[in-house]
Amino acid sequence: MSYPSSPSGAPASWHATTILAVRKDHKVVVAGDGQVSLGDTVIKANAHKVRRFSKGDVIGGFAGATADAFTLFERLEAKLEQYPDQLTRACVEMAKDWRTDRYLRRLEAMMIVADKTTTLTLTGNGDVLEPQDHIMGIGSGGNYALAAARALYDQPLDAEAIARKAMGIAAGICVYTNANLIVETLDSTTK
């Protein structure tokens, strides 16, 4: 995560981390790097941007501003309590709030969440997106990790091995991504 500043000191644009989700052979993996950046300085190399919630049945990873992401995780946790075992519905309801609530609209983060059957990306635009090919990537290195995971998917590798290799490739390309990974895995149903 990075928060570069313009000459006036105000945030010019923000760069995030890399989060990757891979679903293969009855496993779903969400992996995230550990780098926290402020402008061109690495502030922390081992941050935890992937976590379990909803009694361990959902894995989430965030890219963007840390405080904003934790706010979104709390909101999603509340929606999952309201709609237990309905990840898609909880995400749609949260996306509605995110898009319409004045406070939430200002949050600069994206999330990937997964349970045993579904993987979704949530954005501040109100998007709730499901992957076409069992793989999703977000953040500054998200496209690099996504491309690498797609290239590795038909190899004799499990979901975790694909995620780790793809994240390593992204870390070698994206300056806002490092190789200190947090990886969470759930048994799943490939969908």
The dihedral region occupied by 139, where left means phi > 0, alpha psi between -120 and 50, and beta the remainder, is left
Q: What is the pLDDT of residue 98?
A: 76
Over the Cα atoms of the chain, what is R_g?
Answer: 16
Task: Examine residue 59 and state whether it is found in any structural domain, yes or no.
Answer: yes
61 within domain boundaries: yes
Number of structural domains (the chain) is 1
Dump strand ranges (E) for the chain: 18-24, 27-32, 36-38, 41-44, 50-53, 58-64, 109-114, 119-122, 128-129, 135-139, 182-187
3-class secondary-structure state, position 88: helix
* Residues of the chain under the 50 pLDDT cut: 1-14
Q: Is 41 a catalytic residue?
A: no
CA 154 from chain center: how many Å? Answer: 23
Helix (H) or strand (E) holding 25: none
- Tell me what pLDDT residue 165 has: 98
Within 13 Å, how many C-alpha atoms sit on residue 150's CB side?
11
Instruction: Kindly state whether residue 159 falls inside one of the protein's structural domains.
Output: yes
Backbone angles phi, psi at 89, to 5 degrees: -65, -45
The pLDDT of residue 17 is 85
Residue 47 lies in a domain: yes
Give me the pLDDT at residue 20, please: 98
Report yes or no on 4 lying in a domain: no
pLDDT of residue 4: 40
pLDDT recorded at residue 191: 53
Active-site residue, selected from the candidate residues 17, 118, 121, 177 = 17
User: Which pLDDT score is estimated for 25?
Assistant: 94
Q: Which domain holds residue 80?
A: 18-178
CATH classification at residue 173: 3.60.20.10
Does 48 reside within a domain? yes
In a domain, 187, yes or no: no
In a domain, 168, yes or no: yes
- Using the CB atoms, write b or e for 67-85: b if 16+ within 10 Å: ebbebbbebbbebbeebee
